[in-house]
Amino acid sequence: MELVFLLEQILNGLLVGGYYLLLALGLSLIFSLGGIVNLSHGAFYAIGAYLAVELTKHLGFAGALVLSPLLVGLLGVLFERFLLRRFYSADPILGLLLTFGLAMVAEQVIRMVWGAAPLPASIPPAFKGQVVIGDFLYSRYRLLMLGVVIAALVGIWLLLNKTAFGRVVRAGVQKPDMVAVLGIRLQPYMTAIVVLGVGLAALAGVLFAPISGVHPAMGAEIMTAAFVVVVIGGLGSFWGVVIAALLVGVVRGVTIHFYPPAGEASMYLLMLLVLMFRPRGLLGERIERFD
Partner 1 sequence: MTQRSFPPLQPQASSTRAPSTSRRRLMTGSAAMAGVAALEVLGFPSIVYAQSDKIRIGHLTPRTGFLGPLGEYAVMGISLAVEEINATGGVLGRPLELIAEDSVNPSTASSKAQRLLERDGAVVLIGEISSASGLAISQVATRNRRIFVNTGCNSDELRGKNCSRYMFHVEAANTTYVKACGGALLRDNMIKGKKLFGLTADYAFGHDLLKAAKRFVTANGGSFVQDELVATDATDFSPYLLKIRQAKPDVVVSNLSGNQITNFIKQYAEFGLPYPIAGFALDTALAWGAGADNFAGIWPLTWHHEVPAPAAQAFVAAFVKKYGRPPENQAWGEYVALKAMVQAMAETKGTDPAKMIEYFEKGAPIEVLKARKGSFRAWDHQLLQEMYTVRPKPKTQVKDKWGFMAVDAAVPAASAALETLAPTREENACTL
Judged by the rule CB under 8 A, the positions of this chain that interact with partner 1 are: 5, 8-9, 12-13, 16, 19, 104, 111, 115-123, 129-130, 137, 139, 141-142, 208, 210-217, 220-222, 224, 252-253, 256-257, 260-261, 263-265
The torsion angles phi and psi of 132, rounded to 5 degrees, stand at -115, 120
Element (H, E) at 152: helix 140-162
CB closer to partner 1 out of 198 and 214: 214
Strand partners, 214: 119
Question: Which one, of 54, 23, 55, 64, lies nearest residue 40 by Cα?
Answer: 23
What is the smallest separation between the CB atom of 183 and partner 1, expressed in angstroms? 44
Question: Which one, of 58, 53, 48, lies nearest residue 197 by Cα?
Answer: 48
Residue type, 200: L
Collapsed DSSP state (helix, strand, coil) of residue 120: coil
Alpha-carbon span 21 to 206, nearest angstrom: 14
CB closer to partner 1 out of 127 and 157: 127
Three-class DSSP labels, 41-77: HHHHHHHHHHHHHHHHHHHHHHHHHHHHHHHHHHHHH
Is-contact 49 21, C-beta < 8 A? no
CB closer to partner 1 out of 178 and 269: 269
What is the smallest separation between the CB atom of 100 and partner 1, expressed in angstroms? 8
What is the smallest separation between the CB atom of 78 and partner 1, expressed in angstroms? 25
Alpha-carbon span 72 to 48, nearest angstrom: 6
Alpha-carbon span 199 to 103, nearest angstrom: 16
What is the smallest separation between the CB atom of 172 and partner 1, expressed in angstroms? 33
What is the smallest separation between the CB atom of 130 and partner 1, expressed in angstroms? 5
Element (H, E) at 178: helix 176-181
CB closer to partner 1 out of 83 and 119: 119
DSSP label at residue 81:
I
CB closer to partner 1 out of 88 and 100: 100
What is the smallest separation between the CB atom of 245 and partner 1, expressed in angstroms? 13
CB closer to partner 1 out of 198 and 222: 222
What is the smallest separation between the CB atom of 226 and partner 1, expressed in angstroms? 12
CB closer to partner 1 out of 57 and 183: 57
